[in-house]
Structure formats: structure tokens, C-alpha cells
Structure 1
Amino acid sequence: MSDQPELKAFWSRFPDLQHQPRWQQLQAQIRLMPVPAGASLFHAGDLCQHYVVVLNGSVAVRRFAENGREIVLYRVGEGQTCALTTSCLLAADPYPAEGVAETPLNLMLVPSAVFSELLGLSAAFRQFVFQAFGERLSELILLVESVALRRLDIRLAERLLQLAGEGQTEIRKTHQELAAELGTAREVISRYLKEFERKGWLQTQRGNLHLLDPDQMQQFLQQSA
């Protein structure tokens, strides 16, 4: 690991490890792995072999229902970890969902046995692991609450404005991708987008959307609050 600055930068967060004689042996087993965009990282039913940190790039973790519908549970970005990976390592359970690289990635892989030992060796690393796990669990609870209790047209309008960003009007998302983001069927998303188009808020095109009146969409959200 000594010739890999990305890994050195990450582990410098945990100075208590530097005083552990065992650390020198353990770090030799930690490796960096590049992953191309579109690659599958794990599938439902796979066993977890490594604790994984995304050093750069983005991973979408998604769940498929028996009827074929999907929902994006969360994304893992730079410096973050996957809550399902942590859960599967701690409980020795298989993955209940799948992870896909949305962009090219650099991943840090910590073998499961090394991960278990590090939890006991470093209080700082242990805090990092469980704080990240707790934060992601809170996000999942909010997702369940949103899907179960909030109107879909409101959630769709919010997501479109988030994707557009400040001053942007082009959104490169298909109807199916938006459906996966919001945990519903593509036909439902298409129906709401047609309604938004009828109101003059956006224009639908193949593979992307063009916001025409984001201010009116924002006003709709304020009135619906």
C-alpha cells in the first residue's frame, strides 16, 4: 500500500492504527481496484467478501421486485461506503440488492477477515464504519417514508429540479430511469411527465427532458408543502 497515495490518504484518518504492530501486516492485504462504468459489483444473493470504500466515482445500489420493478435505494459516492456491504459483513448474510458502477470507479477493498480485525484494533476506524452505516440507515428510512407517504407528482418534481441543478435545463434521464429512482412503474412516470408537459413546465424528448419553466415547478412544490 506504500506506493498508492489514495489508500495512504484514507488510512491517515486513523492515527491510532499507526501504533499497532499488526497494522503493518494487515495493510499489505488491502488493495485498490479500478472498475469501469456499467460494471456490476454485486448481485442479490452474493456473499460479501470485502469491506469496500469508493475512493472516486458513483455506485447505484438498487433492489428489484418479483414483478420486475426496481428502486434505487441509495448511491455511494467519493469517500463513502455501502451500508448493505457493512450489514452483510457483520451478519454474514448475502446481499439483498445489487450494486452497479454509474461511472468509472476506484475502489478500496478490505478483506472481510482484515475488516473484522481492524474493528477491534482501531476505535477511530470503528467509529467511521458505524457512523457511515447509521447515516445511510437514516437515509433509507427517509426513502421508505417518502415512497409510502408522499405524492408521486411532488417527488417527481423535486427529483427533476435536483437533477437539473442551478441554472441547468437539460436532464438526461429516461422514463425508466426516473421510475427506478422513485420506486414506481415507467408508465406512471410517463403519465406525470405528460401532465407536466401539458402545463408547460417541460418538454419530453427521447432519452432526456428539457425544463421550460422550473420556476413554476418550484412554485408547485411550495404550494404543495
Structure 2
Amino acid sequence: MNPHPPELARLAERYPMISALPESAQLRLLRGARWARVPAGSLLFDDHQACEGFPFVVEGSVRVVKCAPNGRELPLYRVSAGETCIISSSCLLGHEDYNARGIAEADTVLLLLPKHDFDELLAEPAFRSFVFHLFAERIADLMQLIEEVAFHRLDQRLAAQLLGKGHTLHVTHQQLADELGSVREFVSRLLKGFAAQGLVKLSREQIEILDPAGLRKMASEGRQD
């Protein structure tokens, strides 16, 4: 469906950069963009799939992962409301297909800007600055991820993953494994070790943090390696 001015105002609330565009550019966006509402768990794009446009996330969030042939996933980043996807931008700029998978984490509302409109809007300084600023942020995030995977042990990364989410985490071992780019068996084994050390208490789809200082020490020691 084509958006109307109220929808444009809704988009600008999430992406203030829209308000800085000239009226002609805003009208171009209005004419070409397509709104979509997708339920949680929907596959939005996949490896080797052509990129159809530049996504604005108005509600919800999208998890972007790299998939191995054996089915394992390495989480790359999340795209929350007000952000956009660096891989989509890269594919549009380089005229390449997707090289990762995007999955809606929650019920998500998207505005998809077709490629030809994306190309035209890059001539606008506000839009171009927005796109390349996000590139810089995402590349920094991905460099940190590479450092975590390459130099930190899984137990240290798991300890860090458990912190900062409250006293009780309602999460499965598989979900934690997906977040860490590992497999459930390894994560379960480490969690049992944490429980034996008195760091956590395990129950069905729930982890109670007993010793956050101990977890923090384990995680921080890993970051000093």
C-alpha cells in the first residue's frame, strides 16, 4: 500500500533524517515506497537472494545472521526501529545479492524503498550522510564481533551474554547458542559448569543469576586477553 502524509510523519518520527529532505525528495519517497507488516519469525531475506530495496524499520526488529552449511548461525547484528540494514545498503550499492539472512524477531512494520528511489535519494546530502554514518557504526560493531569470536573463549563470551539482563533470564540454551554462534550442547555444558560454581541456577527455559560479580570477573578476564 502507498503511504499517506500521516505515515510519512510516523516514518520521520523514527528517522528524523526524513524531515531534513527537500519536499521533492519526500514526495519521491512517498510515491515509490511500499509498507509491509510481517509476523515474528518471518524470513525477510536470505543468502543469494536479490535485494529488492532499502528497508526502514518502523516497528519491531530484524535479526541478521550468517548461516553455515551445517545449519549453525552466527548473529551479526540487529536492526531495531529507527535503524537500517548495512547488508541491504551494501547489496544495493554494489549491485550484489544478499550474503546473509534476515529474520523478523517480533511483529515488524517495514517501509521498503525500491532500488531506483534509493539511488536517486543518495544525491541528497541528508540521506547520503545517514546511510554512510550507519555503515561506520555497523562496521565498528562487526569488528567487535570478529574480536569476540577470534580471541575470546566461549565461556567468557557466555558470561558476558548473561550479564545486564536482570536477575532472571527467560531464555533457552538454544537461544543463547544462536546468539553466540555456537551449538546448544556446548552452551548447556558451560551453563552446568557455571551452576556447579554457584554462578547461576538453572531451570526450564530460565536462568537465575546468583553471582553477577563472578560472571563479570570471568567476562572481564576474557577481554584482557
Fold match (TM-score > 0.5): yes
What per-residue deviation string (whole Å, max 9, x for no partner) do you get for residues 72-111 of structure 1? Answer: 1111112000111111111111111111111111212111
What amino acid sits opposite 1:134 in the alignment?
Answer: A
Equivalent residue number for residue 176 of structure 1? 174
Rate the CA distance shift 1:192–1:30 in 2: closer, same or farther, 3 A.
same
Is the 1:71–1:179 contact (alpha carbons within 8 Å) kept by the matching residues of 2?
no
Rate the CA distance shift 1:194–1:125 in 2: closer, same or farther, 3 A.
same
Distance in 2 (alpha carbons) for counterparts of 1:2 and 1:123? 22
What amino acid sits opposite 2:132 in the alignment?
Answer: F
What per-residue deviation string (whole Å, max 9, x for no partner) do you get for residues 117-149 of structure 1? Answer: 1001x1010000111122111111110111011
Larger mean CA deviation between 88-97 and 27-36 belongs to: 27-36
Q: Please, which of 88, 91, 98 is the counterpart of residue 85 of structure 1? A: 88
Equivalent residue number for residue 127 of structure 2? 125
Rate the CA distance shift 1:178–1:44 in 2: closer, same or farther, 3 A.
same
Rate the CA distance shift 1:65–1:158 in 2: closer, same or farther, 3 A.
same
Equivalent residue number for residue 53 of structure 1? 56
Which residues of structure 2 form unaligned runs of 5+?
none
What per-residue deviation string (whole Å, max 9, x for no partner) do you get for residues 37-66 of structure 1? Answer: 111111111110110011221111111111
Q: How does 1:97-108 map to 2 (within 5 A)?
A: 97-108=100-111
SS at structure 2 position matched to 1:3: helix
Q: Please, which of 138, 146, 166 is the counterpart of residue 144 of structure 1? A: 146
Is the 2:11–2:18 contact (alpha carbons within 8 Å) kept by the matching residues of 1?
no
What amino acid sits opposite 1:112 in the alignment?
Answer: K
Distance in 2 (alpha carbons) for counterparts of 1:47 and 1:86? 12
What amino acid sits opposite 2:143 in the alignment?
Answer: I
What amino acid sits opposite 2:139 in the alignment?
Answer: L
**Identity %, equivalent residues:** 39
Distance in 2 (alpha carbons) for counterparts of 1:103 and 1:154? 28
Distance in 2 (alpha carbons) for counterparts of 1:223 and 1:133? 30
Is the 1:2–1:8 contact (alpha carbons within 8 Å) kept by the matching residues of 2?
no
Aligned residues: 219
Is the 2:55–2:113 contact (alpha carbons within 8 Å) kept by the matching residues of 1?
yes
Give 1:27 deviation, angstroms.
2.3
Is 1:187 matched with 2:190? no
Q: Please, which of 46, 66, 76 is the counterpart of residue 69 of structure 2? A: 66
Distance in 2 (alpha carbons) for counterparts of 1:207 and 1:12? 39
Equivalent residue number for residue 10 of structure 2? 6
What amino acid sits opposite 1:96 in the alignment?
Answer: N
What amino acid sits opposite 2:175 in the alignment?
Answer: E
Give 1:219 deviation, angstroms.
3.4
Equivalent residue number for residue 32 of structure 2? 29
What per-residue deviation string (whole Å, max 9, x for no partner) do you get for residues 7-30 of structure 1? Answer: 24456524553254x653442112
- Structural RMSD (CA): 1.9
Equivalent residue number for residue 214 of structure 1? 212
Equivalent residue number for residue 95 of structure 1? 98
Which residues of structure 1 form unaligned runs of 5+?
none
Is the 2:12–2:19 contact (alpha carbons within 8 Å) kept by the matching residues of 1?
no
TM-score by length of 1: 0.89
Rate the CA distance shift 1:28–1:10 in 2: closer, same or farther, 3 A.
farther
SS at structure 1 position matched to 2:75: strand
What amino acid sits opposite 1:129 in the alignment?
Answer: V
SS at structure 1 position matched to 2:93: helix
